[in-house]
């Protein structure tokens, strides 16, 4: 079986994206999704929900921004309004929130 250059590039890109995905971001996204699904998803309460799930979350507010951050090896995992950021390929969107690594 022969593989074209295009197929090889696609395979490499998919493998890179799979390796680049951060499982901790996915964990945080799952907790945020559960909060959104339950109807109790205020950003002020999100830190408590993440703490109950075992994350070292902290609610921050200032300069017109409200967010929750969790210390992580590459910086901080941040939960913030999706309207306050420009999502990239590593950002997970859950309901009204964007979740990603900031650092």
List, for residues 40-51, the tens digit of each pLDDT value.
Answer: 888 988 999 999
- Residue 91, Cβ neighbours under 10 Å: how many? 18
What pLDDT does 15 receive? 58
33, 50 Cβ separation under 8 angstroms: no
What pLDDT does 19 receive? 46
What residues contact 11, with CB distance under 8 A and at least 6 apart? 3
What pLDDT does 32 receive? 92
Q: Which residue has the tokens 């995905």?
A: 21
24, 72 Cβ separation under 8 angstroms: yes
What pLDDT does 63 receive? 79
State the DSSP H helix or E strand holding residue 35, giving kind and residue range, or none if neither: helix 23-38
Instruction: Evaluate if pTM is beyond 0.85.
Output: no
What pLDDT does 97 receive? 92
Query: What stretches in the chain show pLDDT beneath 70?
Result: 1, 12-21, 74, 103
């Amino acid at each position: 079986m022969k593989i074209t250059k295009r197929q090889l590039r696609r395979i490499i890109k998919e493998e890179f994206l799979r390796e680049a995905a951060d499982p901790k971001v996915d964990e945080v996204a799952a907790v945020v999704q559960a909060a959104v699904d339950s109807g109790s998803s205020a950003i002020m309460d999100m830190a408590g929900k993440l703490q109950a799930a075992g994350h070292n979350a902290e609610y921050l507010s200032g300069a017109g921004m409200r967010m929750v951050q969790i210390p992580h090896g590459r910086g901080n995992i941040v939960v913030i309004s999706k309207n306050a950021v420009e999502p990239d390929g590593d950002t997970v969107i859950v309901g009204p929130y964007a979740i990603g690594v900031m650092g």
